[in-house]
Amino acid sequence: MQYEYFVQQLINGVTLGSIYGLIAIGYTMVYGIIGMINFAHGDIFMVGAFIALIAFLCLIALGLTAIPLVLFLVLLIAMALTSLYGWAVERLAYRPLRHSFRLAPLISAIGMAIILQNFVQIVQGARTKSLPPLIEGGYTLIDSETFAVRLSNVQILIVLTTLTAMLVFSWVVGKTRLGRDMRACEQDLKMASLLGVDIDRTISLTFVIGAGLAAVAGIMHLLYYGSIDFYIGFVAGVKAFTAAVLGGIGSLPGAMLGGLLIGLIETFWAAYFSSEYKDVAAFSILIIVLIFLPTGIMGRPEIEKV
């Protein structure tokens, strides 16, 4: 049973880590370009989950029963509307303070996070909102007399969606004009501007893409757990930020690796020790890693330009 139980927790940890990794990418993208942490990003994820819930319920009420079509439409709606929130955060909380002292945008982002939390709490209420299971079924990988290892269709969808999003985004960063502009801004904002890169547009699109990925994570969270509330953005945001730092803030592969590690640590600790201290375990591992690897697992040491 120990082997089967370990495999089951491994599957659960990878699934949870995939959600954290998608959120962590938003943190690492913004930090990579403008060197600041977007602490409103976790609440953008929460807004995306609520938009997805409303879209699901509306489409079902309209009589749409084809689950693949519903998922596709919800994905488009949630990504589009959540991206507007990401753009608004950059436009209101970051752009006016970009040349101010470094703590000003940080404080502004925390303020935006509180505004988003309270906005959703007032509009949707403080109670937990639930969604009936839309994707059921799965596969039994190992069926012993004492324990059966199950891989659900929702878990398969989450992992495949995460891999697809990572591949598409890696292509955007590596092969497109926008990706070249983003890499140029990451190296030197002033020089990129002198070479004709529209910095404001590039940074806005970075926030928009990060918010779109957060919306995907919100949909996956909603499908996996079946319930959300206005506070999930803070909890998931802190863990995703931890994942970004653990993997190496500024590194996209590091963000995904950090997300997977946080998900696995959290899941295995809850399974073998105590679920009450799973967050303590994740943050303890982070502290240990940063003591020996201050830049994270895949991070690069920051070189100050003079």
Weakly modelled stretches of the chain, pLDDT under 70? 1, 300-306
Res 166: pLDDT: 83
Q: What pLDDT is stored for residue 1 in this prediction?
A: 57
Per-domain residue ranges of the chain: 2-292
Confidence (pLDDT) at 300: 67
Report pLDDT for 216: 93
Query: pLDDT value at position 178?
Result: 87
Please tell me the predicted confidence (pLDDT) of residue 304.
54
- List the one residue out of 39, 205, 217 whose CA is nearest residue 115: 39
SS3 annotation, 123-152? HHCCCCEECCCCCCCEEEEEECCCCEEEEE
Structure confidence at residue 15 (pLDDT): 94
* CB of 258 closer than 8 Å to CB of 296: yes
Look up the CATH number of domain 2-292. 1.10.3470
Q: What is the pLDDT of residue 218?
A: 94
**Residues 190-221: pLDDT tens digits?**
888 888 889 889 989 989 999 999 999 999 99
**Whole-structure pTM value:** 0.90
